[in-house]
Copies of this chain bind each other. A is one copy, B any other.
Amino acid sequence: MKAKPMSLKPSPMAMVPFISVDNMMKLVNRVGVADMIAGIAAEIEADFKRWPEFDKTPRVPAHSDEGVIELMPTSDGVTYGFKYVNGHPANMARGYQTVTAFGLLARVDTGYPIMLSEMTVLTALRTAATSVVAAKYLAPQGAKTMALIGNGAQCEFQSLAFHKVLGIDTVQLYDIDPAATAKAAKNLADTGLTVVPCTSAQAAVTGADIITTCTADKQYATILTDNMVGAGQHINAIGGDCPGKTELHRDILLRSDIFVEYPPQTRIEGEIQQLDPDHPVTELWTVITGQNQGRRDSRQITLFDSVGFATEDFSALRYVHGLLQDHGTFEDLDMIADPDDPRDLFGMVQRAKGA
């Protein structure tokens, strides 16, 4: 037994910094949306470079008729992270977010959490950041125009990310709901981007160097048909991200060189679930490390079949963790029981009675 007096207050060891939605928005606005995406992109790229160091596993899903709840864990041997994320396409009509998320970092050596964070906002940033990391290696040289099919929650983040990191100056927007396009156009005013609202997907993709698809239907859909994609374009496919949910016609896939995050997960969730299980794909990290080639010529159609992977969330959480002390955008949560004597959990509960 330790001789020191028993304290009734939680020790600093018991406290976990928590970033609420409010504090995350404060942080994003202090850093700036585009700068924060660029910072996260740098972290994601650095972590892709050390890909073999990570424990990787396909996410752990709980599917239901209405949607999916997933846990996405990973670890680099020093820090452990996981994200909780849901995807419920019917939520929007009910006034809920389609995707909400939170995440956690912990120390591998003690197992103690070191940060809990909202990740609905942060996931939007990391998804855009991942897209630009891939596009850096896959998009045509000097790309200036991007089509965005699906103008929901991800649209503006993608637009700003490609503007900031890749120098895209024009976005051509299309959504089956014109109100979504109007919302995105309004939000993107005064960002330096030329915003072109379009009345068809065909109009949006015409003349685009990059096509980003980010729709939310949970079903096999054909957002892009084969005739809409031309030589040299880069397709950044975000929305096909769970079993039974795809956005591209199969023929497009057969004409494209396909790049993925983590094949065991993408085969189940990505556009390539439409293809044979041994259809050749290239892992993005091997392009970043130079082991494989990204874009090799100006006629090639490249496809980043993005489903979102745990390491990207890990990178984003670590980026946020690195800013916490400077910005103070957190509160302490009394989440971990920390008795003076670790074996005396019962005594701690008993002593709390008198408090």
Contact = CB atoms under 8 A, between A and B. Distances in A.
Interface of A: 1, 10, 13-14, 18, 20-22, 25-26, 28-29, 33, 55, 57, 60, 62, 64, 66-69, 71, 73, 75, 77, 80, 82, 84, 86-88, 91-92, 94-98, 100, 102, 104, 106, 108-113, 118, 120-121, 124, 151-153, 155-157, 179-180, 182-184, 186-187, 333-339, 341-350, 352-353
B344 A187 contact: yes
B86 A60 contact: no
27 contacts: A10-B22, A21-B334, A22-B334, A55-B62, A60-B71, A60-B73, A62-B75, A62-B80, A64-B108, A66-B108, A66-B109, A66-B110, A67-B111, A69-B106, A69-B108, A69-B111, A92-B343, A96-B112, A97-B336, A97-B339, A98-B342, A100-B336, A102-B113, A118-B334, A124-B346, A157-B345, A180-B343
B347 A187 contact: yes
Nearest to A122: B337
Given A21-B10, A69-B80, A73-B60, A157 B346 contact: yes
Given A73-B62, A108-B66, A349-B28, A179 B1 contact: yes
Given A20-B333, A22-B10, A88 B110 contact: yes
Contacts of A120: 336-337, 345
Contacts of A84: 82, 104, 106, 113
> In the complex this chain forms, how many copies of it are found?
2
Nearest to A16: B102
A92 B102 CA distance: 29
